Structure 1
Amino acid sequence: MNKRKSIFRAIASCTLSAMMLISAGCGKSQSAGGPGGQGGQGGPPPKIAVITKQQLSFWDDVRKGAEDAGNELGAQILYTVATSDNDYVSQVAAIKEAIAADAKAIVIAPNSQTELNSAFDEAVAKGIKIVNINSKVNDYGKIDSFIRSSDIDGGAVAARNVAKILENKGVDYEKLGKIAIVGHTASTAEERIEGFISVLTSYASQKIKKPTITETDPDKMREAEEAAEAEYNSKLEKFSKSFIQGNRVAERDKAKEEAFNLLKEDGNGISIMFATNTNTTLGVCDAVSELKLDDKIIVVGFNSDEEELSFIRKGTLDGTVVQNPYMMGYVGVRYAKRLIEGTSVTCDLDIGATFVNGSNMNDEYIQLLLYPDKF
C-alpha cells in the first residue's frame, strides 16, 4: 500500500502542480472556513461524500483512491455506489444524505446530466462544494471542478491501437469488413465513439492509396487526376459507411444480446468490434467467444474489470482502454479538501488513459493501474 500511495501521490502532485500553473482557478470559496466548512482549522474532520455509478471494480478503485486521500488529508469519506450507470434515483438520495450528514463537499460520478440538478441546488445552497468526476454534468453550471479521462481521447487511444493491430496483421483497409460498436447508456459513450470513429477514419485516409496516374498526355492529365481523386473519395466514403452501431445498453447480458444481433446480421462481415465500458466489453466478449470468433474479430474495449483481463489472456479481447480510477478518486478528494479550505482548484483536469493488452499487462506500471490495492 505504501508503494502504491507513494507512486500515485507523486503522479498526483506533479499533475496538480502542472495544472495549477497553466489553468485559471475555479471553485474558490469566499473565505477559508466560510461557506463550505471549517477550512481545516481545528474541529472534527470534514465529511466528503463520494458517490459513484455502479458496483464494478473500476468504482472500487475510485473508492480506494478517495479513502487513501481522506486518510492522508484528515477527511471522513462517506461512500455510496448506485446500482447501474443509469440509476440516478439512488444518487439523488445519496446527495440528500450527504446534506443531512453535514458533508462539506461531494465528489460524484453522475448517472444523469439533468436529473440531479435539484439535489445539487440543495447542496450548493448549504455551501457544499461539488467535484464532478468521470462523466460531466453538462446542464449544471455550479460544478467546482471536473476530473476525468478525456472520453474523446480514450476513443482515440482505442482507435490508434486497432490501427496498430491492423498494421501488424497486414490488413488492407480497402478489404476491411464492418466495424461494429456497442455503446453504453451514459453520456461518456458518445465521446468515446466520436474519438474512435474520427481517428480510425483518419488512419484509413492515410492507408487507402490513391490510384496511380499513368496518363502522360498533358491535355488529359487533369481529367485523370480528377478521376483518381473521385475514386479515392469513393473508397473513403465506403470505409466511413462500414461503421455500424447497436442500441445503447447498460447491462452485460443486453450487450451480449446486442452483439449477437450485430453478428447475426453481418456474420463474418464484421472485422472489428469496439465496446465503450465494462459491461458492453464483457457482453461483446461473451458473444464473440460463444460464437468462436476469437481469432477472426478484433475486439477492443474499455476499463479493467478482472473478467476483461481474463478475456485478454484468453485472446478474445485484443486490448482495453484503462483510465486511472484510483487517481480519479484520490485527486477528487484532494480537490474537495482544497475547496473546503477556500483554495482555488483547476476547472478541468484530464488524468489520461492507457491501452492494456497481452504484451504490456504484466509491466509494473500497468499492474499498478490494474491492482492498486496490491501495491
Structure 2
Amino acid sequence: MNGIRRRSFAWAALAAIGAFGSGCGGGGDATGGPGSAGGTQPSDPDGPKLVFISNTNSDWWSAVEKGMEDGGSEFGAQVSLRRNDGQPQGQIDKLREVLSMPDVQGVAVSVIEADSPGVIDAMKELREAGKVVITIDSDVDPEFADARRAYIGTNNSEAGRVAGETLALLRPEGGKAAVFVGVASAANARAREGGLLEAAGEGFEKTQTWEDGGDHAKARQNVQSAISKTPDLGALVGLWSYNAPAIAEEVANSPQVRDRVTVVTFDLDEAARPHIAGGNIDASVCQNPYEIGRMGVQLLTALIGQDEATVSELLPDGDTREIGVRVIVPAADSPASKMAERGQEVLTIDEMNSWLESKGLRSS
C-alpha cells in the first residue's frame, strides 16, 4: 500500500512542476465539444494549423483532444481533431481532405493499419506536398517509416509486457485467454498482444483475437461469443480503451463468469472507471493520451518552425518519443499492486479518479 502511495505522490509532484502533469492538466470538459464532431476550436488564430486524425472514435480521444487544445494555447497553434470511423478508407479520405487544405502545415495520425498501402501513400503525399507528418498512438510498420517524420506515444510492446506481468500476478495459475481489439493489424494492437503473451508466460494460452472494427456493439457481442465458445476461459484482455467497458458490462451480468475470469484492459475509458471500482476489471494498463496530444502539438510546431533544439529534446532517439504507462487497480491490496516493486507506476482507482477530476479529465 505504501509503495502505491509513494508512487502516486511522486506522480503528483511531477504534475505540479510540469514534467508529467502539465501534459495532463487544465480544466474543462474532456468530451471535447466541437472537436467531437470533427473540429476543435482554434487555440491560436495566428499559429500554424495542425490536424490530428484518430484511428477510431472512442472516449480515449477526448483526452487527446484536451491535450491538443492546451498544447495549442501553450505552443501557439491552431488545432483540429478529425475522428475516424475505424476503417482504413475513412482515414484515407481524411488524409486526402487535408492534402487539399493548403493552410494546414502539420498532421498527426494514429494509423489504423500499420501496413495499409492507401494510408501510407496518403501520408507520403502529404509529406511531398510540404506538410509535416507524424504518427501518434499507433505507428506505421518500420519499413514505412519514411511516411512520417516521427512517432509519439506509448511503447506498445512494453505496455503489453506490463499487462502480461500484471495478468500473471493476478492469475498465477494461468489459463486460456481471449483477446479483444478493434483492428488486430494496427501496430499498437500487434505490439500489445505480442508483449502481453510474452510476459504472461507459458501458463497462458491464447484462444482467439476477437476484432470488432471499432464497432462498440460488436465489441460486446465478441465478449459474449468468446465466453460461449470457450466455457473454461480464464482471462479476458481488452487491448483498446472501449473494449474495457464491453468486457466489464458482460461479466457484470454473470457472477459465475466474473468469479472464474481475470479481466485486464488498457486505458481508462470513462465508462470503465466505475467497473474498476466495482471489481469487474482487475487491472488496467493506462496510457497518457493528454500528453500524447499536447506533445504532438509541441513537436509539430517545432518541426514547422525548424526549432532544432526543441526537436532534439523531444526526440532524443531520432524519430521516437515514448510516453509511459501506469497500472490502475481497484484497491491497494490487489495482487497487481506488486508491479510497484518492479518500478512500475501503480495507482488505485480512487487515486486516479481524484487526479482526473482535479485536471478536468474524464478518461485517460
Q: The TM-score by the shorter chain falls in which range?
A: 0.7 to 0.9
**Runs of 5+ in structure 1 lacking a partner?**
16-42, 202-235
1:72 aligns with 74
**2:72 partner amino acid:** G
Structure possessing the higher relative contact order (Cα contacts under 8 Å, 6 or more residues apart): 1
Please say if residues 124 and 148 of structure 2, whose CA atoms lie closer than 8 Å, have aligned partners that are also in contact.
no
Classify 1:194/1:333 alpha carbon distance in 2 versus 1 (closer, same or farther; 3 Å). same
**2:328 partner amino acid:** V
Query: 1:262: how far off?
Result: 2.4
2:84 aligns with 82
Matched, 1:247 2:252: no
2:155 to 121, 142, 150: 150
2:109 aligns with 108
Query: TM-score w.r.t. structure 2 length?
Result: 0.74
Distance 1:53 1:370 in 2: 26
Matched, 1:123 2:126: yes
Distance 2:103 2:218 in 1: 39
Alignment of 1:27-46 (within 5 A): 44-46=46-48
2:295 to 299, 320, 331: 331
Please say if residues 53 and 110 of structure 1, whose CA atoms lie closer than 8 Å, have aligned partners that are also in contact.
yes
Query: 1:11: how far off?
Result: 1.8
Query: 1:317: how far off?
Result: 0.9
**2:249 partner amino acid:** D
Query: 1:260: how far off?
Result: 2.2
Distance 1:8 1:111 in 2: 34
1:316 aligns with 280
1:271 aligns with 234
Q: Tell me the SS of whatever aligns to 1:196.
A: helix
Runs of 4+ in 1 over 4 A off after TM superposition: 12-15
1:59 aligns with 61
**1:195 partner amino acid:** G
Q: Tell me the SS of whatever aligns to 1:136.
A: coil
**2:93 partner amino acid:** A
Please say if residues 304 and 370 of structure 1, whose CA atoms lie closer than 8 Å, have aligned partners that are also in contact.
no
**1:98 partner amino acid:** V
Classify 1:44/1:304 alpha carbon distance in 2 versus 1 (closer, same or farther; 3 Å). same
* Partner deviation per Cα, 1:192-227 (whole Å, 9 max, x = no partner): 1111111110xxxxxxxxxxxxxxxxxxxxxxxxxx
* Partner deviation per Cα, 1:302-348 (whole Å, 9 max, x = no partner): 11111111211221111211100000000001000110111343110
* Partner deviation per Cα, 1:285-304 (whole Å, 9 max, x = no partner): 23322232222211011111
**Greater Cα radius of gyration, structure 1 or 2:** 1
Q: Tell me the SS of whatever aligns to 1:118.
A: helix
Matched, 1:353 2:325: yes
Question: For structure 1, which segment, 128-137 or 102-111, has the greater mean C-alpha deviation from structure 2 after superposition?
Answer: 102-111
Matched, 1:132 2:95: no
Classify 1:45/1:177 alpha carbon distance in 2 versus 1 (closer, same or farther; 3 Å). closer
Distance 2:287 2:93 in 1: 27
2:178 to 172, 175, 180: 180
Distance 1:189 1:338 in 2: 29
1:297 aligns with 261
Please give the root-mean-square deviation of Cα atoms over the aligned residues, in Å.
2.7
1:200 aligns with 200
Q: Tell me the SS of whatever aligns to 2:191.
A: helix
Q: Tell me the SS of whatever aligns to 2:92.
A: helix
Aligned residues: 296
Query: 1:8: how far off?
Result: 7.9
1:259 aligns with 223
**1:116 partner amino acid:** V
Distance 1:370 1:184 in 2: 28
Question: For structure 1, which segment, 97-106 or 292-301, has the greater mean C-alpha deviation from structure 2 after superposition?
Answer: 97-106
**Runs of 5+ in structure 2 lacking a partner?**
1-11, 24-44, 332-347
Query: 1:187: how far off?
Result: 3.1
Classify 1:9/1:133 alpha carbon distance in 2 versus 1 (closer, same or farther; 3 Å). farther
